[in-house]
Amino acid sequence: MAAKEAAFREVPAPSRIGALRGRWARVEAGAAGKYWSQLTAVEFLNSSFAFAALAVLCAFPFLAIAAAATGGDFRRQSSHAWA
């Protein structure tokens, strides 16, 4: 009987992290959690559009440098191809 009482006393009390996890689980289940998940999805789309805009803005200078490095004018080369 004493061994059972000693084992019962050694069980730690709920930690603060465990309590916070429980509270966060309740928040995620409610309206605030649904709103938060939608905000993170919007943030992902915003980041995607920003990355695409950066890629487009970097493409034009890269094409200009590539054309200058090849030593030709793209307009003259394309006009000869059609003639």
DSSP state string for 27-76: HHHSHHHHHHHHHHHHHHHHHHHHHHHHHHHHHHHHHHHHHHHHTS-HHH
Q: What is the pLDDT of residue 69?
A: 85
47 versus 72: which is more confidently predicted?
47
Please state whether the predicted TM-score (pTM) of the whole model is above 0.75. no
Q: What is the pLDDT of residue 1?
A: 53
Q: How far apart are CA 47 and CA 83, in angstroms?
A: 45
Residue labelled with tokens 């493409």:
59
Q: How far apart are CA 52 and CA 71, in angstroms?
A: 29
